[in-house]
Amino acid sequence: MDAEALSTTRAAILPGMQALWLEDRQLRVRDDVPIPQPPSGEALVRVLHAGICNTDLELTRGYYPFTGIPGHEFVGVVEQGPPAFVGRRVVGEINAVCGACGACLAGRRTHCERRTVLGIVSRHGAFAHYLVLPAENLHPVPDAVSTEAAVFTEPLAAALEIQQQVPIGPRDRVLVVGDGKLGQLVAQTLALTGCALLVVGRHDAKLALLAARGIETGLADRAARGEFDIAVECTGNPEGFAVAQRAVRPRGTLVLKSTYAGALTLDAAAVVVNELTLVGSRCGPFAPALRLLAEGRVAVEPLIHARYPLAQAVTAFQHAQRPGVLKVLLEIA
């Protein structure tokens, strides 16, 4: 698909808007990107805030051959669309699906064979003044949830997906490897199950955020071999994967909850001999994520390290790549 033809609407366009543009792994802020006009069934959303996540960073390193506007963690206000949504703050599920392919009809909608993915696959994303998404993807933000907190809905939902895939309860010994943005949310949501939880990482300040919430933390050497029923790998690097695999007991479960930009070498013999279950995990349920935010059962504001206007988005990306940095927000409207 031609880069300039990549459109979330395939429809008529309005005058230009400011947006962060990714092409050939290079980022630049443009002021001439067409504002999309939503086709039938979709809504035009004026973006308020958007968050930079590891997938966005990996796109700049060639994780996926995307050209256009990146960004998929957002909160905005509906300006055009179903009357029930217009004027309301919303967040949105990132997979836009056809509803008619085999995967959709089988209930595997996030694996739609013709899906577009906000800011990742054939659909312009949230680092712009406006985006469009199917109305069915949108979720109103409760009044009790601040606009900044609402930005975390998508990654919080992704963290909750683990519990949709793997039953976890008070008798389970669970390890989270990684103290970064996603690891923080995974740890907080798993702690709510009452499991015996340990989070290992490399950054004292990040681990301190979890320790302040009563979550046990430590360095990688705390993860003893074969000690855990479930290990969740949140680093996206081979070292983290090795720690997680080593720590899982025979017939335990290893959950991969990160973006892997390159090939990963694993000890397949150990997987077979120990009869491990490998679970890939990505997008998750928005409704429970919004409930947790509204009820104050997770703390996301302490994860915000910096805020930048959209005009300084390239600088914001540079900041987000520094060691030890958690969430960087773009303030768009």
- The amino acid at residue 202 is R
**Whether 165 and 276 share a structural domain:** yes
212-213-214 Cα angle (round to 5): 90
CA dist 83 to 44, 135, 332, Å? 12, 11, 24
**Total domains present in the chain:** 2
Model confidence band, residue 6 (pLDDT cutoffs 50, 70, 90): very low
pLDDT in tens, 32-77: 999 999 999 999 999 999 999 999 999 999 888 899 999 999 999 9
- Check pLDDT > 80 for residue 94: yes
pLDDT at 13: 40
* pTM for this entry: 0.92
pLDDT at 263: 75
**Whether 8 and 137 share a structural domain:** yes
**Whether 146 and 13 share a structural domain:** yes
**Whether 176 and 208 share a structural domain:** yes
Separation of alpha carbons 67 and 24, rounded Å: 7
**Whether 55 and 143 share a structural domain:** yes
- Check pLDDT > 70 for residue 9: no
Model confidence band, residue 220 (pLDDT cutoffs 50, 70, 90): very high
**Whether 124 and 209 share a structural domain:** no
**Whether 65 and 106 share a structural domain:** yes
Estimate to the nearest angstrom the gap between the alpha carbon of 48 and the chain centroid: 18
Model confidence band, residue 252 (pLDDT cutoffs 50, 70, 90): very high
For residue 16, the domain's CATH number is 3.90.180.10
Model confidence band, residue 8 (pLDDT cutoffs 50, 70, 90): very low
Separation of alpha carbons 188 and 33, rounded Å: 38
The whole-number average pLDDT for the span 210-214 is 96
Count Cβ atoms within 10 A of the Cβ of residue 327 and give its class: 0-12 exposed, 13-18 middle, 19 or more buried: buried
Q: What percentage of the chain reaches a pLDDT higher than 70?
A: 95
**Whether 13 and 147 share a structural domain:** yes
pLDDT at 14: 52
**Whether 56 and 127 share a structural domain:** yes
pLDDT at 82: 92
**Whether 140 and 17 share a structural domain:** yes
Note down the domain range covering 40.
3-152+300-331
The whole-number average pLDDT for the span 81-86 is 94
pLDDT at 30: 97
More confident residue, 183 or 3: 183
**Whether 241 and 265 share a structural domain:** yes
Place of tokens 């996030």: 110
Estimate to the nearest angstrom the gap between the alpha carbon of 301 and the chain centroid: 16
**Whether 256 and 221 share a structural domain:** yes
- Check pLDDT > 70 for residue 109: yes
pLDDT in tens, 257-294: 987 767 788 889 999 999 999 999 999 999 999 999 99
